[in-house]
A = this chain, B = another copy of it.
């Protein structure tokens, strides 16, 4: 018997081997040895299936226990989110890109709002901060998964080639920065982004609270 769960599982299988672009009702049906049309009994078309995949990914995000320290707690959530998104790199763009309205997506939001509230932010500013920080996180992760492992810091030949291309532009600032632009260390970039975002949050925190 078919079920929503097994269908989502089969979709992960397709995504892991053929990418999100490889997902089709027919491909998923093939994995399950079932007619693609049967899927419609459990899932709301292809869009609904992809939403279900994104939700499955988010729902297993385990939120770290809060310590009471603003930056420690926000940082922990950011890293947990990244770990989850990268657990199926090919599926990451789904979580990052879909407008999720399900309950699944609300737990992390609750966690972040609670931390900000405890740090003394008022509700309105908390929502703004939540949105900017999340956008920065998503933008950073999106670049990371788009760049792919090809863009790693290892591949010396690739770096040399990209440096050459950048220098060929003859734009002075680009040329001067070429060797840095050609390199991309995902871990370091993420760390830099998170620390910058945390700085910005702390910088706006009301005084006399527990953030330091």
Contact = CB atoms under 8 A, between A and B. Distances in A.
Interface of A: 97, 99, 101, 103, 106-107, 109-110, 113-114, 117, 123-124, 126-129, 131-132, 134-140, 142-143, 146-147, 165-166, 169, 171-174, 176-177, 180-181, 189, 192-193, 196-197, 199-200, 203-204
B147 A193 contact: no
Contact of A132 (B171, B181, B196): B196
A199 B203 contact: yes
A97 B96 CA distance: 11
Q: Chain A contact residues: over half helix, strand or loop, or mixed?
A: helix
Contact of A128 (B97, B123, B171, B189): B189
Contacts of A101: 165
**How many copies are assembled?**
2
Nearest to A110: B171
Contacts of A189: 128, 131-132
A82 to B, nearest CB: 13
Contacts of A166: 106
Given A113-B173, A132-B140, 11 more contacts: A109-B181, A113-B177, A114-B172, A114-B173, A117-B173, A131-B193, A132-B136, A132-B192, A135-B139, A135-B140, A138-B142
